[in-house]
Amino acid sequence: MERDRRGMSGVLSSLSLLCVILDLQLDGSLAASQSEIENHLEMGRKLLAAGQLAEALSHYHSAVDGDPKNYLTYYKRATVYLAMGKFKSALPDLSKAIDLKPDFLAARLQRGNILLKQGDTQDAEQDFRAVLLSSPTNEEAKNQLDRAREVEERHEEAWAAYNREDYGEAISLLEKVIEYSPWDPSVRELRSECYLRIGDLNKAIQDLKPTTKLRNDNRAAFLKLSRLYYSMGEHEESLSQVRECLKLDQDDKDCFSHYKQVKKLSRQLESAEELVRDQRYEAAIEKFEAAMKTEPNVEIYRKQAKERICHCLSKSQHTEAAIKTCTEAHQRDPHNPQVLKDRAEVYILNEEYEKAVEDFQQAKELDGENEEIKEGLERSQKLLKQSRKRDYYKILGVKRNANKQEVIKAYRKLAQQWHPDNFQSEEEKREAEKKFIDIAAAKEVLTDPEMRQKVDAGEDPLDPENQQGSGHHQQWPFEFNPFGSGNFHFKFNFN
């Protein structure tokens, strides 16, 4: 029995010793853990001060995991979230810090500020009142409480103005609301709707865009943005916005239906522009006409298509169709300088120089910095002046875009017709000689690339006023005379 008692005593002593050892090890572990937490907090502080926010956040995560009962670690992590602009992530940490320490005024004031920016005015007011209850002289809490009340009042007044269709007043009231509560999507949505009602689509879009981030899964905003851009003729941006909607839910029926429409139109317009760049104008016209059938209801796309068809026709031989289409495009969009420029180019091809000058002048009034328009106006004015003197194209009866072979062919026919040897009386011979001189001069000018370029620029290379100091064909006499004996000797032939 005594032996058993001594054995039991030995066991108890061993257990006591083991407990002491375990206690010592636990104390050491806790001490090490606390040391690590302090190290994480210190590193987080330094990294935050250095602006290395992601690294600082990682250390604060470790500090919170190591000591989930420490209200300061939550508060400091919230500070990093706020510095990163992640106010939604900061709110739970601030709330946790307040739960752990209800009299932690800094956290309560910070949370109230976030709630006010989100438009949660009632919850924000509770936090500001709690701060003032413990610290009645806190100026920031006083000011923010006043702001919260002002936001509530103005928001209510803005809705009242909207309901009575006083959209300008509603916009004015919402300005201060958005200044104090910039993270509240509902006030931006309301102001966006007001801008829509007064027809200011650009400002409506500016207010609507931030709501796609302020609300989770805001497919409705992406779809509305897409439709707004589409109605403005910005089909590429419309496509971009509706794709964002489908990223959130690829099965969204409204977004997918709109996506198909925008995608089809975009492909047609992009394909048409590519054909224009390749100078395949006939094929481009077909694509633009198909685009008008795809979207017959939005006028801006019809305007754009008509403008581009006008441009394509201005590059073709179909001057009558070009003038008709460009005139229709001008009627649809009278302030479009490109339509006027393209029609002016057709008028030049059609040798209607007065009309070309008039169109270029109107285009310049609309876009005075456009170099092509300024050059076109100068060229058309020279051509008009020249047409009142000697028009080499008219003399030969060829179009301005006639090639060299066509010029020579016309010359041969007219030269044979008007050669002076074909006439009997002296009067007829003089008249024929005069015509023959003009015909020969026209052929000489229009088959010479340098002189023809001057003609197309509105100059007369045979005009003595343009010969002075030119250095080219300076030996030619005042009047081009294939029968004369001047410095220039004309050898008659039909080549």
Q: For residue 121, what are the CA distances in angstroms to 62, 124, 334?
A: 33, 5, 51
The CATH code that applies to domain 298-388 is 1.25.40.10
Do the beta carbons of residue 125 and residue 145 sit within 8 Å? yes
Do the beta carbons of residue 238 and residue 230 sit within 8 Å? yes
Most trustworthy range by pLDDT among 153-167, 310-324, 406-420? 153-167
Q: Mind giving me the DSSP string for 469-481?
A: TT-SSTTS-SS--
Record the tokens describing residue 302, joined without a space: 């019809």
On the question of a common fold for 28-154 and 164-265, the answer reads yes
Do the beta carbons of residue 192 and residue 171 sit within 8 Å? no
Per-domain residue ranges for the chain? 28-154, 164-265, 298-388, 390-460+472-495
* pTM for this prediction: 0.70
Stretch 259-288: mean pLDDT, rounded? 96
Burial of 269 by CB count in 10 Å (0-12 exposed, 13-18 middle, 19+ buried)? buried
Residue whose tokens read 């004369």: 484
Binned at pLDDT 50, 70 and 90, residue 31 comes out as very low
Do the beta carbons of residue 223 and residue 245 sit within 8 Å? yes
Stretch 87-113: mean pLDDT, rounded? 94
Evaluate if residue 20 carries a pLDDT over 60.
no
- Which candidate, 132, 135, 91, 80, places its Cα nearest to that of 113? 91
How far, in whole angstroms, is CA 330 from its chain's centroid? Answer: 24
Do the beta carbons of residue 381 and residue 458 sit within 8 Å? yes
Residue scoring higher pLDDT (23 or 172): 172
Record the tokens describing residue 166, joined without a space: 């006083």
- Which candidate, 28, 29, 107, places its Cα nearest to that of 66? 29
Which class in CATH covers the domain with range 390-460+472-495?
Answer: mainly alpha
Report the CATH superfamily, name and number, of domain 28-154. Answer: Tetratricopeptide repeat domain (1.25.40.10)
Burial of 100 by CB count in 10 Å (0-12 exposed, 13-18 middle, 19+ buried)? middle
Residue whose tokens read 């001047």: 486
Least confident of 2-16, 77-91, 92-106, 246-260: 2-16
Do the beta carbons of residue 252 and residue 220 sit within 8 Å? no
> What one-letter code names the amino acid at 226?
S
Identify the pLDDT of residue 329. 94
Task: State which CATH number among 1.20.1560.10, 1.25.40.10, 1.10.110.30, 1.10.10.410 fits the domain covering 164-265.
Answer: 1.25.40.10
